[in-house]
Structure 1
Amino acid sequence: MAEVTIRYFAAARAAAGESTATAQADSVKELVDTVSVGRPELGRVLGICSFLLDGERVDLTAPLSDGAQVDALPPFAGG
C-alpha cells in the first residue's frame, strides 16, 4: 500500500476537523473509504468531491503511489 497525504478544502476540511491527513491506500476510492471510517459526515462530503492527484484531476479508480498528494475539493459556488 502507498502512503499518501490527503488535503481537505472547504466543507471537507470542516467535516474532517483538520486540513491534512496521511493514510495508506492503493486507490483514491480506498483512500476515501479509509479516512471516512467512523466519520460519516466526512464520508458524505467526500462522496460529492472532485479529486486532484498531484495536481491532476482524477476519478476514484486512480491508483496511488508512495508520497502522492490527493486534494479533496467539494463543490462550491462563487461569483
Structure 2
Amino acid sequence: MIRVRYFAAAAEAAGLDEEALPSGTFAEVRAAILARHDALQAVLPRCALLADGERPADDEHVADGVTLDVLPPFAGG
C-alpha cells in the first residue's frame, strides 16, 4: 500500500486529507485516485504529484510504503 496525502483544494475535492491505496505504476495510481474521487477530475490535472518528493513517470512503479503528495498550485513563496 502507498500513502496518498491531499492538500488544500485536492483535500477538499477528495473529502479527506489522506488515504491508503494499492501500489502500482504511477498511471495506475492516478487512475485509482480519479476512480475513487470524481470531484478530483477538475483539480488533479493542475496538481503536482510527488512520490517521496520526486515526480514519477507514468510507467514508473510506485512501491509499497511510498508517500504520494497531491499538491494543487499555490501562490506565495
Q: Normalised by the size of structure 1, how large is the TM-score?
A: 0.80
Mark the runs of 5 or more structure 2 residues left unpaired by the alignment. Answer: none
* Identical positions, percent: 38
Secondary structure of 1:41's counterpart equals: helix
Number of positions where the alignment pairs a residue of Structure 1 with one of Structure 2: 77
TM-superposed CA distance for 1:7, in Å, is 0.4
Mark the runs of 5 or more structure 1 residues left unpaired by the alignment. Answer: none
Do the aligned partners of residues 50 and 61 (structure 1) sit closer, same or farther apart at CA in structure 2, a change above 3 Å counting?
A: farther
Match of 1:51 in 2: 49
Match of 2:20 in 1: 22
The structure in which a higher percent of residues are helix is 2
Q: Normalised by the size of structure 2, how large is the TM-score?
A: 0.82
Determine the C-alpha separation between the residues in 2 that align with 1:67 and 1:51.
16
Do the aligned partners of residues 68 and 62 (structure 1) sit closer, same or farther apart at CA in structure 2, a change above 3 Å counting?
A: same
Match of 2:67 in 1: 69
- The alignment's C-alpha RMSD in Å is 1.8
TM-superposed CA distance for 1:43, in Å, is 2.6
